[in-house]
């Protein structure tokens, strides 16, 4: 979970520059919903308060429970979570990155914030990786990755590309009201501008 700048620091600039590097990004609104469900249902934050790691409480996550399977209640608590984080980690503060992710040591970079872009740039804003792919387009670019990464050469997309940490929930757009939709847009403005993401409506012909 280290940023590109910290990984470059760890391996050395010469090796970093001669290696093929890439990053994956996803729609910021979808990312927040997926993270909320994943943390509370699949990993350590699913444990009760007092038993779960400190980072779960630091990031204001509610205590997990049967409500995760109740769409209306899950949406209500998701929105409350975003508002709680915005209050605790306001834009411009040293801890604003916690709105988007744990620190993971990346707070070493003064420019690290809630956006995905901040993981992959240097202090000047220059991109440190060779390619950035959207998760939503991973199947299309899989052949390109297979050509660049020898370990993927014989790995079919169906074996290596699909989500390895899936979370089960309705389309992300159903979780937001106008206030929380705008809130995520403010924190993730860099991602919206750089990667061109937009807020999409649920497709009634598709299931999530």
Q: What is the mean pLDDT of each run of 10 residues along the chain (208 residues)?
A: 94 96 97 95 87 94 95 97 98 95 91 96 97 95 94 86 67 97 98 97 62
**Do residues 187 and 99 lie in contact, with contact meaning Cβ atoms separated by under 8 Å?**
yes
**Do residues 90 and 96 lie in contact, with contact meaning Cβ atoms separated by under 8 Å?**
yes
Of the candidates 99, 103, 93, 124, which has an alpha carbon nearest to the alpha carbon of residue 114? 99
Place of tokens 């910290």: 6
- Give the other-Cβ count within 10 Å of 105's Cβ: 12
110-128 residues labelled b (16+ CB within 10 A) or e (exposed): ebbbbbbbbbbbeeeeeeb
Distance from chain centroid for Cα 172: 13
- Token pair listed for 143: 């052949």
- Token pair listed for 117: 């872009």
62: DSSP letter: P
The pLDDT, as a whole number, for residue 76 is 98
**Do residues 6 and 109 lie in contact, with contact meaning Cβ atoms separated by under 8 Å?**
yes
- Token pair listed for 70: 């109740």
- Token pair listed for 65: 């429970």
The pLDDT, as a whole number, for residue 166 is 61
User: What distance in Å separates the CA atoms of residue 169 and residue 160, rounded to the nearest whole number?
Assistant: 22
Tell me the whole-structure pTM to 2 decimals. Answer: 0.91
The pLDDT, as a whole number, for residue 207 is 45
């Amino acid at each position: 979970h280290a940023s590109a700048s910290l990984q470059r620091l760890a391996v050395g600039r010469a090796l970093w520059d001669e290696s093929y590097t890439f990053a994956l990004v996803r729609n910021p609104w979808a990312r927040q919903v997926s993270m909320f469900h994943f943390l509370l249902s699949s990993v350590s934050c699913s444990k009760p308060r007092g038993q779960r790691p400190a980072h779960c409480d630091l990031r204001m996550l509610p205590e997990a429970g049967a409500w995760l399977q109740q769409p209306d209640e899950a949406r209500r608590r998701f929105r409350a979570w975003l508002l709680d984080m915005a209050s605790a980690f306001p834009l411009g503060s040293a801890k604003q990155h916690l709105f988007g992710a744990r620190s993971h040591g990346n707070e070493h970079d003064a420019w690290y914030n809630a956006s995905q872009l901040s993981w992959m740039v240097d202090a000047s804003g220059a991109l440190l990786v060779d390619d950035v792919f959207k998760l939503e387009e991973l199947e299309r670019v899989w052949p390109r990755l297979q050509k660049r990464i020898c370990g993927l050469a014989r790995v079919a997309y169906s074996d290596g590309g699909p989500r390895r940490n899936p979370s089960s929930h309705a389309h992300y757009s159903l979780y937001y009201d106008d206030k929380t939709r705008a809130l995520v847009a403010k924190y993730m403005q860099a991602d919206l501008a750089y990667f061109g993401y937009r807020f999409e409506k649920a497709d009634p012909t598709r299931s999530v």
